Structures are given as C-alpha cells and as structure tokens.
Structure 1
Amino acid sequence: MAPRKHFLSIVLFLCASVLLSGQHADGTDEPKVYIVHVKQPEGENFSAAEQWAPWYSSLLNRATGVLGLASEQDTAASRIIYSYRNVMTGFSARLTDKEVEAMSKLDWFLHAYPSRVYRPLTTHTPMFLGLRYGGHNVWNATNMGEGIIIGVLDTGVTPGHPSYDDHDMPPAPAKWKGRCDLNATVCNNKLIGAMSFIDYNNVTRRSTHEPIDYDGHGTHTSTTAAGAFVKGANANGNAKGVASGMAPRAHIAAYKVCYGDECQGHDILAGMDAAVDDGVDVLSLSLGGDSEPYHSDPIAQGGFNAINRGVFVSCSAGNSGPDHSTLSNDAPWLLTVGASTMDRSLLATVKLGDGQEFDGETLYQPHDFGSKMLPLMYPNANEQSSLCVSGSLDRFDVRGKIVLCDRGQNSRIEKGQVVQFGGGAGMIVANAPADGYATVADPHVLPASNVPYAYGLKIKSYINSTASPTATIIFKGTAMNTPHSPAMASFSSRGPSQITPVILKPDITGPGVSVLAAWNDQTFNMISGTSMSCPHLSGIAALIKKAHPDWSPAAIKSAIMTTAYVTDNSRGPILDERHLPADFFAMGAGHVNPPNAIDPGLVYDLTPQDYIPYLCGLYDSTYVQVIVRKHVDCSSVKSISEGELNYPSISVTLPANSSTSVSYTRTVTNVGEPKSTYTVKLDVPKEVSAGVTPTTLSFNEVNQKQSFSISFRRNGGGSGAVQGQLLWVSGKLEVRSPISIKLE
C-alpha cells in the first residue's frame, strides 16, 4: 500500500496526465493513462507483491511490436505506472488508442479503458458507492437529490459548519412547514430546519433549548447524508480532499432528540411526529436499543406512520455484533442498515524486534515518532491490566514503552489515555477473538495501532519468546484499494430478528467504518458505527426518491435490496470479521449499489395496509391499533405469517423429518422498460429442493404487476441456517432476493 503522500502524488500525476492529453484537440493520438486488465496467470503462484510488477512488465515487453516506442528511454516497462494485484489483475500505463487496439489482439489481454478523473472526496464513500460526476450517473440523474428533505433525528447540529453551506442551493420546497430554532443567520437553504425535542426536566447539566450539537454525532450523521461539498477536508491531516454527503443538494432538517448518549423514547417520538408533519421525505435515525415489541417501540410506531405518509425511514442495525439476534430497529417497514468497510485504510504497521511486521490502523498519524525500536510489554497480570483499564497499570513501569492492550470492556481511546497517563510511548490494541480481522482507525491520544486478533497472538508469542522484546510503529497514512472491501464490521449487529425471525434482517449494509464527516469541536472527524452506515442509506434513498418521486417507501427499499452486491473488490464473497463469507444475518441483501438501485427493473411493493394481516398474526387487536392508529378487528382479518409479506428477501423454516412443502407468493411491479421479460434463476443449497412458478414473467407496460410462487422442501439431513438466492433476469438487469433457510 502506498503512503499517503505517494497516493496524493499519484492523484496529481493522473490529473496532470489527463489534462495534458485533453489539450490536444487536433485529433492526434497522444498517449494517455489506460487501465489494462490481463488474464489471470496460469501456472504462477506469486507469494509476494513484488513479483507482480516484473510479470506485468514481461507481458508488456512481449507487446513491444505494437507499441510506438519513440526512444531508448521509452521502453515498455517505463510505460507502466502501477501494478495491481488485489483489486484486479492488471496494470495502468501510458498508451495511445491505437496501441491499445493492437494490444487487444494479444492472448493475455482482457480489457482496457481510459482512466477517468474523479473528485477525491474525503468521506470517500460517494466515490466508493459510484456517486460521481460526468456521463449518465446517479448524481447527474438526480441532480444530487435537489428538493428532497432529509430529517435527521440525533444530537443536533453545529451552527455555521461549512458542510451546511447553501451555495447555489434553491430554497426549501413549498411543502416545507418546519422551523429553525437557531439564530436566524444559521439556517439557510441547506440547513432548512433545526428543532430540539429534549425533556428538559431530565437534563440538569446544560440548557438545551437550542438544537446545538455538543456531542458531534448529529453533525456527523446529517452531513454524511446530505452535507455540502467542502474543500480541504481532513481528519488529523489524513484523507485530504473534498468532502460531501450522499445527496449534496438535498435539504437537511435536524431534530435534536438526544443529549449526550441518552435518547429518550418520548423525545424520539416527538421528533418523528414533527418531522412527518414538517414535510420531510426521508427520516434518518442513527439510534437504537434493545429489541422491543413493535407496540412498545417508538421508532417502530413512528416509522409505521411515517411510511403511511410516504416518508422513507432508514435506521441503524445496532453495534452489538458479532453475536446473532442483537438487532435494533427490525420492524419490516424500516430499512435496517448494517455497517461494513470501504476500500480506504489508515495504516500503522507494527514492526517487532525480530523483523516481523503486522499492519493495523489508526487515525493519529504522527510524523515525528521515528523508527527507533522501543521496549514492548504486555501487562497481563490479570484481565483488567491486559485490557488497560483505568488504574490497572499503576503497578507496571510503562514509561517509554509500547504497551500491548487487549480490545474490550473500556473504549479503545481510553486505553491509550491510560497508557499515556503511565508515561507509555505507544500502544498496540490487539483485537479480541470476536473482532477477528476487523480493525478501526481511531483518533488515539498517542502513537498506536489496532491490529487483528491473529496478529495480536503473534505479537504476544514474540513477547514471550525473548527477554527484551522491542517494537516500533510505522505510520503509513492513507492507503487506497484495500483488498477484501467491503467487509462486515465486527460490531455490526446481526440477525435474525428476535420478534420476527422469518423476516431477514438487517436489510442492507453500507459504509460504517472510519467514516469522515463534519464534527462539532473540530471541522471533521472520522468515526465508526452503524450510526455512520444509516445516513449513507438515507442519502441514497433521497437520490432514489428524487429520480422516482411516485415510488412508495417499500418500492425504494426493494430497489436498494434487490440490486445489492455480495462480492468484494477481490472478486470473492464479502467477508466477515473472521475472513469467512459473511452470512445474510450479517449483511442482509448485501452491500448497497446506488447506480443500480435507481434502475432496479422490478420492485416488491407493499402498502401500509399490507402489514395489518401480518401484525394480526403477532398481536391482538389492541396492540395492532396502537401501531397502525386506526381500528382493527383482528378476528375478522385473515392473519398471515411474516414469510407471506411481499418482502424483497425470503426466509423460510423447514422442520426436521418433514416432507411438507412450504410455499410463498410474491408480486413484483415493473418499473423498468414497458415491454420486458424476466427469467428465473434459483440457487438453493443441496439440503433443499425449491421451485418457482411460472419461470418467466412478461410485462407490457410500466407499473404492471405479476405474481409467482416459490416452494421449498427438505431433502433430508442438515441443520441450522443455510442460504441461497432467487434472481429474475432480463438482459443486464438482475433482480436478486436473498433466501435464508432455517433447517430445524
């Protein structure tokens, strides 16, 4: 991985190369930067990164006959800029159009295309999610969400932050009825509303009549969803560039419902009530708690009535992973969002006295730490000291040493404060088994690195192998194209839902690890959590709403889910914290894919009324009425199981020793080409037989509906959870539903 300064020079070079080639308007065939994909090497087993570059050079050397080499200095090898090995097999090089055309006939060639110039957004997630400028793309097709209002329920906003700048923004839509309880000069055409819903009798530390963010969380989430473009954004000097939210021209309405780390249920419900009345299009709630019955859950109740008014609701899945059944916000009418990584890392490599090196992460990247080897210690006298809990290191001499602390119990940043208080020079945070390979870039107070669990074991083994262990930390800054991205965050809460396990939850995953966005006491900060992934989906929902204003919240949700992808940038399955394929209880339908979500082809639609038979299957009439806000007599309603909802994902339970078939009916609505035909593709594990009737669906007009049935039967054997997928395919469109099967 390139150090940050190297990466920036690469960006500048690429920009200069493209700009230079763009100066030639006379049609001459000037060299420009191409990205060249090559066939996977046969019979080669490259064990080191350094082996790839010579191999690529040898391929290009074999192509000298097609290269217009102008001088002795202009060699095939000199044309290569970068050699790739993790995210693709191939290289980038300076080539002319004619050279590439001739090269395309060689046996090792797969594909080549000119390298385009992208804005180096610091949140990086817009680029990572395919939200770019130029050509036909999501931002162009939706005008970056202009006119859509995103209501964010959180800790408030930071007045005057540049991410709330309204340059070239239109006024709020005529339907907006909200107000701003900040100074009149603070709210504008970007931040159109700000209100506080705090039960003041329960707050004694500070007056909170104004929706000012004293925590930073609300500022971060609102600007992730819809922050304006801000040049020169960075976190502690890292990830420099232009920051923006997912829908940079959408309006933000902030509802302060949290004070510190407390968000009262009645405050939340009041905020949701006001937001729906004010005219928001999307609600974003990076809040959660223990799973409660829907009739006792303010977010579930408020969310149901929000969708009844056409408002899309995006919620965090929770940060209680990787244990199963730890979800928050699992009502089927809510979009429940898990957290995953992106392809950017802030590297801090631990180098041991015996030469071993282990990559970790940190946001704090000091330039003056040096490379001197320092004494290394692991204070494992007891569990408290190995965790570096406050006061536990008093009996140890940690002065001038690098201290290894186990992850868990207290916060990672607090561990560094404990080590610093004792005079420690640096810290290694070793993941617990549950965290596996999932590391986090934290703003530590001293030089530090968070390393995977497996690396922590090797470091401990080294400490035990010598009387005088030493180490240093090499800070490498921002690295791009991190392999195996995205991957699930260990903290992201998992399904199945405790209330309705036959509805697959979470629904989707999005970026939630080391996300850079606006902050209160510093301009930008980088933090992690499903609190960060939720507003990504809120902003993406705003873009879809702009592109399809007549779509229901369920249709938008379906588009997000059925177009998600389940492979990483190494072309393998999305992995979890163990480096094993993540299951659907971790990632739901997969990772959000905005370019495909605005054109899904088919959607699984649901009206609020469709949930009533399902709710009658869960609760008696009184509780159902609490949720839906109208009289319901469940004795006269034919109840349905959760599996019978017209949901974009499918979950089924097959009892042991049963040959009985379980069947569900689903209905899809055509939102693509008027005349189109879709063919089924079904993938289920060997323990199960499944069939779909009919196997083709033909449409003659937009909004036409077609139904199909899908049935499952056990083949015998097996137990636990297995999974498959259902796809409706039409040309380049694939409408994918994950299938989760519980074998009892």
Structure 2
Amino acid sequence: MPSPPAKWRGKCQLPKCNKKLIGARNLVGDTYATDDEGHGTHTSSTAAGSPVQASAFGQASGVAYGMAPLAHIAMYKVCSEEGCPGGSILAGIDAAVADGVDVLSLSLGGASSRFPEDPIAVGAFGAIQKGVFVSCSAGNAGPASASSANEAPWILTVGASTIDRKIKATVLLGNKDKKFRHRLLPLVYAGANGRAASRFCAPGSLNKSVKGKIVLCERGGEIARIGKGQEVKDNGGAAMILMNDQPNGFDTLADAHVLPASHVGFVAGEAIKAYLNSTKSPKATILFSGTIFGNPNAPQVASFSSRGPSLASPGILKPDIIGPGVNILAAWSVSVDNITNPPFNMISGTSMSCPHLSGIAALLKNAHPDWSPAAIKSAMMTTTYLSNLGRTKPILNEQLQPANLFDMGAGHVNPVLAADPGLVYDLQPNDYIPYLCGLGYKDSEISGLIQRKAHCGNVTIPEAQLNYPSFSIRLGSTPLTYSRTVTNVGRANSVYVAKVVLPRGVNVKVHPERIVFNRLKQKATFTVTFTSKGFSAETYSQGFLYWLTKGYVVRSPIAVISA
C-alpha cells in the first residue's frame, strides 16, 4: 500500500506509546504475547486472554478472561520510541491480512486527517476488502469536542467508559470528625505560592517544606499523574491528593502511585481548597477501602474519551460506540509490584476499550461467519444500552450530566443482544466509493486509498446517505431526505414498525413506517426525511429511530446540528 506523508505520526491511545498492532485470529488455541513495554500485552489479553487468576497490587483479585478467550493472537510491531510511522502501520496491517486474521484491533491513532492521507484509514480499507473487521481507539483527547481519531466509516471507532469496579481511597479532612482515631497529617496546597508549576507538582517545583505532609496537587500541566506523586515523594511528602481540573469533572482513575494517594474530582478538590483557606492548621488523612464493586453510575463516559462531531466527515456519527476503558485489569509484560505472577496491571484509555470491542467482534464473526465487517458493526451499534447498569438513569458524562451522542456514539456495547440484532445495515467495499466522491476527494486520491482505479463522474452521494447504522445531520431550513437499507438476520417471517424519538426542534418522517419480511437475508429500503421545526436557533439536538418487532429492538441514533 502507498506510504502516507512522512510527517504523519501515530501514537498509542495511552500516555505511553503502544508497541504492537494486534490481529485477533478467530481460531481455537492458546494466546502468546511478547512485548517490551506492556501496552501490547495488556490490549491483546483484553481481546483474547485465556482464563487466569489475576490481581494488581492485591486489588481486583479474581479470574481474568479476555473477551474471546479461545482466539489466537498475532502481534505486529509498528511503533518505536519515536512514534508509529505510517509506513510501518501499513506494513503491519498488510502482514496481518496476509496471515489471515479475522479482526484487527488498533489501539493507536493520530489527529483527524483526510482519509487518503491517513495510514490507518488506508490500511483498514484494504483489510475490509478482504473481509477483516477493523476496530480502533477513538483517542484520548476528550472531553474536547471534535477530538475523535480514526473516523473512517469502515472502522469501528471506540470510546471509553467506566466499569462498576473502583479502587477506593477516601480523603477525610480534619474538620469532619474530631473523634476520628486515625492519624491526621498536616495538609498543604502545592500551588499556595502562586506558581503554576507548583500547583501541578511539576518536577523541581516543590521543596522540603512538604516533608511529612499530605500535598494537594492539581491534574494537568502536561505532568503525568504518577509523576506528580514522585515529586511529592522526592521532597519528603507523606501522601498526595490529586484533584481534577474542571473539564475532567468527577472522572477519577486508579493509578499505581509511588506513595499513598487519592484522586478526587473537581468539586471535591475545590472543597479541600476551601477547607485549607478556612483554618490555620489544616489536616487530613486518606482511608483506603480497596476494591469496591457496584458503582451506581457505571458505565459513565470517561473524561479522556475523544468526542465527535467528526472533522473528517461530519455526516458520519463518531465515535461509533463505547466500551470498558477505565481501570482495566489485564496482562502486563513485567511484574509491576514484584509479587504478582503472571504479571497484570490496571490502566485506562481508549486503548483499553478498543480490544474489548475487538474481542466481541471475533465472537460475532465466529457466530456469523457470513457477516461482513459492516454487518458486525451494525449489530453492535443497534443493540447498545443507553442507561446505567441499574437501568435507573441515562449514561452520564464526566460532569455527571446525561452523555450525548457525540460523547458515546450509539451507546455502550451489549454483546448478548449484538449476537442476534434482528436487522443490520450492511455495506460492501464498493459502497464507500460514492461516499468518498461526495466528500470531494479526487479520483487519484480515492484510487490510492482503495488500491484500484476509481472514477467518480456522477457516482456520488452525500456523506449522510451512506448506509450507516446512525445519522449525523446538518439541518437548515431545507428538508433533507436520506435512504437506508436493512437486511433481515432475525426471523424469516417478521413485521417491523418504525418509531421515532424526535430530536428537539426537528420533525422526522419515515417511509414506509412498516416493513414486512418473509425470508432471511431479505433486504428492505426506507427513507427518512428531516425537517426543521424552529431548529435553526438550536446548536445540537438528538433523537432515535427504532425498528420494532416482537423480540427485537433495532435502534439508530440521530444527531442533528445546525447547518
């Protein structure tokens, strides 16, 4: 495949750089991994690790399973300390496809770019032409909007969510319980001197005045979370409280800190600051509760998870879906606590959510070997859930507000329902050519991307016309009509009825409103017309299109922004 521009450099979707591209092969057997840094081992064991007793620093003890534990793993090195050159990525994808993998899982990516110049988009298109499913991380640039990577519609773009397990460390302030028997230590704010470097606990910013004290550090400043604790420890600090900035809200992470530490949300951090300013001798302690299950807000969109709308193609809703990506326990290449064997580590990122979906894709491929990559993607996207595990409230974002479709795509993956979705929105490789023409790419650019001659001519469609399982609409005063085709993969004889949850300020008309199937693999086409009802004053609105029949709920998200 052609090499992308030399300036393109990908990176893993984690603070450290990924060393491996993982191809999950849908065969029965053992899993092997060789990795000099840990990230590749972690992602591959998440996708298809064999059952093994696991923990990290004594936490989250139990039996760990990969999503597809009977699959083979093939790992392809495409990165170095300098990054992930586009040519290496293309070579790795080519090798994986030639080796016969069924699923490619790429926990790496760069900034948004034009598809013909994006090596992952180019390589992934070559893979889907061979029937290989491609899953990629959405990126860790959240919660900023329009920050998603890997936006091509032939890729499953995966955002990250929390799970219902936490490693809990609670901060108790000296004003909360005068009878508290645990030892209270002096509490100081690292930024009390007014220096930005100090409040972020940057290397060299503190001094021995913090010796024996608990130090409040702020998240950010391009300083690693563990690195902040190292600065506190190097100056004799007894413990660290790490507080979020406002964009990261309530989202906290479990890290292997170098000293006792607790990560608190922005609101809690501000309360700690207020306490510091209210007394001449502030004190605090940290209560360690260990592993806690049953987080009522799970799944919650992780603050770092990259968001839509897509810059490369606003007419395609990205990310596509979310899956577990926070505090994920999986295999590691070396022991992190010098005790646990086999070695495991707990880390967070869309690097971690991507292989969850890759493993599920391998299971679906095994269950439905005749399904195309687009059909597998559709099955996952139209069967997600939109509420927390207790089904009491919608999925929330890092501010504990309802997540929108640009935060979570179609919703959180539901593997059980994805195995039997009822209907799928299918696509073949040639179907993307009119879409690429509609994006305004030259014939030569499309030819380079698809690796064969292409000529647009009059063969072009608007991007929102692609037969995708979701809708991303730019709506003005003129009504817009798009068609979709669904394939029956549920029951031979079935009747589906359309139901629409209207986006605010938008009218949606589906024609026909009733689809009758009398055999499997039968296709049916319908149109959807979007009309503004005062939407021009709005900036964003969302709704859903359902196709309903007994035993099946097929849901497509609708995101609308003003033109």
TM-score, length of structure 1 as denominator length: 0.70
The count of aligned residue pairs is: 531
Structure 1 residue 335 corresponds to structure 2 residue 156:
yes
Aligned residue in 2 for 1:312: 133
Aligned residue in 2 for 1:706: 524
Aligned residue in 1 for 2:51: 229
Structure 1 residue 742 corresponds to structure 2 residue 557:
no
- Structure 2, gaps ≥5 residues long: 1-16, 336-342
Checking the alignment, whether the CA contact within 8 Å between 1:215 and 1:260 is kept in structure 2 is no
Structure 1 residue 502 corresponds to structure 2 residue 296:
no
Secondary structure of the structure 1 residue equivalent to 2:44: helix
Rounded to whole Å, the distance in 1 between the matches of 2:101 and 2:21 is 17
Note the C-alpha offset of 1:172: 5.5
Note the C-alpha offset of 1:569: 2.4
Pick closer, same or farther for the CA change 1:392–1:721 going to 2, 3 Å.
Answer: same
Rounded to whole Å, the distance in 1 between the matches of 2:150 and 2:173 is 44
Aligned residue in 1 for 2:479: 661
Which AA in structure 1 matches 2:313?
T
Equivalences for residues 285-296 of structure 1 within 5 A: 285-296=106-117
Rounded to whole Å, the distance in 2 between the matches of 1:278 and 1:613 is 30
Note the C-alpha offset of 1:321: 0.4
Q: Structure 1, residues 145-197: CA drift from partner, whole Å, max 9, x if none?
A: xxxxxxxx952499xxxxx9xxxxx9958xxxxxxxxxxxxxxx4247x7xxx
Aligned residue in 2 for 1:388: 201
Structure 1 residue 539 corresponds to structure 2 residue 359:
yes
Aligned residue in 1 for 2:183: 372
Pick closer, same or farther for the CA change 1:261–1:335 going to 2, 3 Å.
Answer: farther
Rounded to whole Å, the distance in 1 between the matches of 2:185 and 2:333 is 36
Aligned residue in 2 for 1:631: 453
Question: RMSD in angstroms over aligned alpha carbons?
Answer: 1.9
Aligned residue in 2 for 1:147: none
Aligned residue in 2 for 1:118: none
- Pick the aligned partner of 1:474 from 282, 287, 305: 287
Which AA in structure 1 matches 2:502?
V
- Pick the aligned partner of 2:38 from 213, 216, 220: 216
Which AA in structure 1 matches 2:106?
L
Aligned residue in 1 for 2:538: 719
Note the C-alpha offset of 1:404: 0.2
Rounded to whole Å, the distance in 2 between the matches of 1:693 and 1:722 is 22
Rounded to whole Å, the distance in 1 between the matches of 2:523 and 2:238 is 65
Note the C-alpha offset of 1:244: 1.1
Aligned residue in 2 for 1:66: none
Rounded to whole Å, the distance in 2 between the matches of 1:171 and 1:670 is 25
**Higher mean C-alpha deviation, range 668-677 or range 561-570:** 561-570
Rounded to whole Å, the distance in 2 between the matches of 1:356 and 1:384 is 33
Checking the alignment, whether the CA contact within 8 Å between 1:157 and 1:213 is kept in structure 2 is no
Rounded to whole Å, the distance in 1 between the matches of 2:82 and 2:196 is 27
Q: Structure 1, residues 100-151: CA drift from partner, whole Å, max 9, x if none?
A: xxxxxxxxxxxxxxxxxxxxxxxxxxxxxxxxxxxxxxxxxxxxxxxxxxxx
Pick closer, same or farther for the CA change 1:242–1:261 going to 2, 3 Å.
Answer: farther
Equivalences for residues 565-644 of structure 1 within 5 A: 565-570=385-390, 571-618=392-439, 619-635=441-457, 637-644=458-465
Rounded to whole Å, the distance in 1 between the matches of 2:293 and 2:534 is 47
Secondary structure of the structure 1 residue equivalent to 2:358: helix
Pick closer, same or farther for the CA change 1:157–1:703 going to 2, 3 Å.
Answer: closer
Aligned residue in 2 for 1:180: none
Checking the alignment, whether the CA contact within 8 Å between 1:157 and 1:219 is kept in structure 2 is no
- Pick the aligned partner of 1:155 from 19, 34, 51: 19
- Structure 1, gaps ≥5 residues long: 1-152, 159-163, 165-169, 174-188, 195-211, 358-369
Aligned residue in 1 for 2:12: none
Rounded to whole Å, the distance in 1 between the matches of 2:291 and 2:175 is 26
Note the C-alpha offset of 1:634: 1.5
Which AA in structure 1 matches 2:216?
L
Structure 1 residue 559 corresponds to structure 2 residue 379:
yes
Equivalences for residues 297-446 of structure 1 within 5 A: 297-355=118-176, 371-380=182-191, 381=193, 382-394=195-207, 397-408=209-220, 409-446=222-259
- Pick the aligned partner of 2:305 from 492, 502, 513: 492
Q: Structure 1, residues 258-290: CA drift from partner, whole Å, max 9, x if none?
A: 224722211111000000000000000000111
Pick closer, same or farther for the CA change 1:348–1:476 going to 2, 3 Å.
Answer: same
Secondary structure of the structure 1 residue equivalent to 2:356: helix
Higher relative contact order (CA 8 A, sep 6+): 2
Checking the alignment, whether the CA contact within 8 Å between 2:504 and 2:542 is kept in structure 1 is no
Q: Structure 1, residues 690-739: CA drift from partner, whole Å, max 9, x if none?
A: 11011111100110000111101111253211100000011131000000
Rounded to whole Å, the distance in 1 between the matches of 2:74 and 2:430 is 28
Rounded to whole Å, the distance in 2 between the matches of 1:622 and 1:417 is 52
Rounded to whole Å, the distance in 1 between the matches of 2:381 and 2:315 is 17
Rounded to whole Å, the distance in 1 between the matches of 2:318 and 2:403 is 13
Secondary structure of the structure 2 residue equivalent to 1:434: coil
Aligned residue in 2 for 1:200: none
Rounded to whole Å, the distance in 2 between the matches of 1:262 and 1:223 is 23
Q: Structure 1, residues 460-511: CA drift from partner, whole Å, max 9, x if none?
A: 0000000000000000011111011100000000011111111100000000
Aligned residue in 2 for 1:178: none
Equivalences for residues 58-207 of structure 1 within 5 A: 154-156=18-20, 189-191=29-31
